[in-house]
Structure 1
Amino acid sequence: MPRTESHSTREDELAFELDPEDVPVNKLTSFHGRLQHFLHRSSDEMTDSPAARTTAISQPTIKLEDTETKDQAIQDRAEPIKPSPKRRKAVQATSTTISRPPTRSTPPSPNKRKRNTPAPTPIPLGPSATESLLRDTIPPNLILLLVGVNPGIMTGISGYAYAHPSNLFWKLLHSSGITSMRHKPSDTYKLPSLYSVGNTNIVERPTRDASMLSRAEMNAGVPVLEAKIAAQRPEAVCLVGKGIWEAVWRVRRGRGIRKEEFRYGWQEGENMGVCEGWAGAPVFVATTTSGLAAGMKLVEKEAIWAELGEWVVRKRQERGFVPQIMKQEDI
């Protein structure tokens, strides 16, 4: 009987703990980790008969892992899971991103004051691309008329022939003996009176270099040049650059000049400006004086120009033309 009383006391305690009106508790904690020693039965099945006790003893013991799972499920239903601070921030960021409406670019308000930015100061560019301040110097009966391709940009702006510092024109005139000193570009319009030497171009449009001219422009300048020569009748014509003679050749023969047909110097039988009563002026083809042309060395250019210079000096002597020496104040 003492054993029965002990068993009855334990059942009463179990019934008290399993009261359905109580709040679910963690049985694993409540029974000090010995939950597997207790069998869950209804009140009807709890009797004092030996058969019932035998049945209760013979039932399999509940595993701790299963009990822990059930207890955890009960606790999960009883208490909601609180997310960690990091997870809470991530959820808030996600919800903010999803719920945020798409932004639209709004046009600037018409009442918004504009910044008063000063207008750029225009840079004076001189004459337009089709104009040049350079003028021909072709008085009648010159000893030599120099014919260039076209004015450079600096020449078109200044109005002085071969005005760029890199151009070798004034240097070669002096080294060849055509001029008695190395003149400045500003002396362009003094050459006829000082040396009986004039200047013109086959194309009047100024460009950075002669390669920017088309063949059509060069060809169109040939009859104009022929007319100038026929009108003023210089004793000889010097074409300053191979390209000028190539244009004359194309106009006269309707084809380009072959490599074996070209040579610098005097062109025999190829006078320019031929007209009634005049046989025309002999043609001398000199090298270009442009600083951009590096196909020939300076020594080679000076040799070709020296041939022309010898002829000019001789013709001046025949005429009795004495080159004038410029005064110091004119230099």
Structure 2
Amino acid sequence: MTTHTLPDLLAPGLRLVSVGLNPSLPSVAAGFYFANPRNRFWAALNASELVREHLTPGPEAMRRLFEVHRIGFTDLVKRPTRGAGELRAADYRAGAAALEARLARYAPRLLWFHGRVAWGHFLHHARRLQPAADWGLQPERLAGAPVFVTPNPSPANAAFSRADLTAHYRALAHYLAALEGTR
């Protein structure tokens, strides 16, 4: 039985690939990433320097991020849930192996993990490593690409304000620009 989920937005030559923990039920129902109106992704993205245009959440914004800005999207675990508490070790084990294979095929320039939970589960289940405690650039690489970790914008992660998220997204934008030689 196949579970309905969000499709990956991946292709060769992407500048950045966003990696979430797993799709939310509102995102799957709406058909695009970060669809929950309480999710702070879109507000933080629009306030950051990652893209130089204001995007209204929806399929057209996803298309522009993918085709114009060359930002892709995927998840560690593709099974949608109401919350991370519904995921099991088997989900993470299978997800880590599948994610590594997907990313190796496309070789993006930079990977962007949303949250230490996603990054930590990937490292634990794929490499038996513990993640560094810091946000930002990580010492490990994945599919040959540097990894940058920012707080998860989910409404369940209320410890971080929109301003906090925006600051982390700006740091990501600055690192990406330096990586591309545009800063």
TM-score, normalising length: structure 1: 0.51
Q: Would you identify which runs of 4 or more consecutive aligned residues in structure 1 move more than 6 Å?
A: none
What's the secondary structure of 2:72's corresponding residue? strand
Match of 2:151 in 1: 287
Mapped to 1, the partners of 2:178 and 2:54 lie a distance apart of 18
Alignment match of 2:3 (pick from 112, 119, 130): 130
Mapped to 1, the partners of 2:32 and 2:64 lie a distance apart of 11
**Is residue 137–residue 189 contact of structure 1 (8 Å, CA) maintained in 2?**
no
Q: Do the aligned partners of residues 252 and 262 (structure 1) sit closer, same or farther apart at CA in structure 2, a change above 3 Å counting?
A: farther
Q: Quick one: higher RCO (CA 8 Å, sep 6+), 1 or 2?
A: 2
Give the letter aligned to residue 119 of structure 2. W
What's the secondary structure of 1:288's corresponding residue? coil
Mapped to 1, the partners of 2:133 and 2:94 lie a distance apart of 21
Mapped to 2, the partners of 1:248 and 1:204 lie a distance apart of 13
After superposition, what is the alpha-carbon deviation per residue over 1:118-140, rounded to whole angstroms, capped at 9, x for unaligned?
Answer: xxxxxxxxxx99322x2111110
Q: CA deviation at 1:317?
A: 6.1
What's the secondary structure of 2:68's corresponding residue? helix
Q: Do the aligned partners of residues 201 and 142 (structure 1) sit closer, same or farther apart at CA in structure 2, a change above 3 Å counting?
A: same
**Is residue 115–residue 152 contact of structure 2 (8 Å, CA) maintained in 1?**
yes
Match of 2:81 in 1: 207
**Is residue 170–residue 185 contact of structure 1 (8 Å, CA) maintained in 2?**
no
After superposition, what is the alpha-carbon deviation per residue over 1:176-235, rounded to whole angstroms, capped at 9, x for unaligned?
Answer: 211221331222133122111111111111111222212321232111111111100100
Q: CA deviation at 1:316?
A: 5.5
Match of 1:40 in 2: none
Mapped to 2, the partners of 1:253 and 1:158 lie a distance apart of 34
Gaps of 5+ in 1: 1-127, 274-279, 319-331
Q: Do the aligned partners of residues 183 and 317 (structure 1) sit closer, same or farther apart at CA in structure 2, a change above 3 Å counting?
A: farther
Match of 1:8 in 2: none
| Structure 1 residues 263-278: aligned runs within 5 Å | 263-268=134-139, 270-273=140-143
| Bigger proportion of residues as strand | 2
**Is residue 150–residue 203 contact of structure 1 (8 Å, CA) maintained in 2?**
yes
Match of 1:67 in 2: none
Alignment match of 2:30 (pick from 145, 154, 158): 158
**Is residue 176–residue 308 contact of structure 1 (8 Å, CA) maintained in 2?**
no
Q: Do the aligned partners of residues 311 and 253 (structure 1) sit closer, same or farther apart at CA in structure 2, a change above 3 Å counting?
A: closer
Q: CA deviation at 1:315?
A: 4.9
**Is residue 147–residue 240 contact of structure 1 (8 Å, CA) maintained in 2?**
yes
**Is residue 49–residue 169 contact of structure 2 (8 Å, CA) maintained in 1?**
no
Does 2:57 align with 1:184?
yes
Report % sequence identity: 29
| Structure 1 residues 1-331: aligned runs within 5 Å | 130-132=3-5, 134-179=6-51, 180-186=53-59, 187-254=61-128, 257=130, 261-268=132-139, 270-273=140-143, 280-315=144-179, 318=182
Q: Do the aligned partners of residues 282 and 307 (structure 1) sit closer, same or farther apart at CA in structure 2, a change above 3 Å counting?
A: same
After superposition, what is the alpha-carbon deviation per residue over 1:79-124, rounded to whole angstroms, capped at 9, x for unaligned?
Answer: xxxxxxxxxxxxxxxxxxxxxxxxxxxxxxxxxxxxxxxxxxxxxx
Q: Do the aligned partners of residues 163 and 201 (structure 1) sit closer, same or farther apart at CA in structure 2, a change above 3 Å counting?
A: same
What's the secondary structure of 2:67's corresponding residue? helix
Mapped to 1, the partners of 2:46 and 2:180 lie a distance apart of 16
- Please tell me the root mean square deviation across aligned C-alpha atoms, in Å: 2.1
Mapped to 1, the partners of 2:39 and 2:2 lie a distance apart of 20
TM-score, normalising length: structure 2: 0.88
| Bigger proportion of residues as helix | 1
What's the secondary structure of 2:62's corresponding residue? helix
Q: CA deviation at 1:160?
A: 0.7
What's the secondary structure of 2:148's corresponding residue? strand
Gaps of 5+ in 2: none
Mapped to 1, the partners of 2:157 and 2:2 lie a distance apart of 22
